[in-house]
Amino acid sequence: MAFPAYVIESYDQVQERENAIALLKLLTLSEKDKTEGRLLSREQLLDGI
């Protein structure tokens, strides 16, 4: 079965895909931080603002 050489996406589809990838990257980074013990309490976070 041959697949088409090109795939056409609308601008909205591209943006939705890019946003999903960005969210997955953030989730991966946050899981890594949690595993490595790099966490802030709510108070620490708010004090840093």
pLDDT per position as a tens digit, 4-42 = 788 899 999 999 999 999 999 999 999 999 999 999 999
Q: Do residues 33 and 39 touch, judged by C-beta distance below 8 A?
A: yes
* Residues 40-49 as b or e (16 or more Cβ within 10 Å = b): eeeeeeeeee
Q: Would you state the pLDDT for residue 48?
A: 86
pLDDT score of 47 more than 90: yes
pLDDT band at 49 (very low <50, low <70, confident <90, very high): confident
Domain locations in the chain as residue ranges: 11-47
pLDDT band at 3 (very low <50, low <70, confident <90, very high): confident
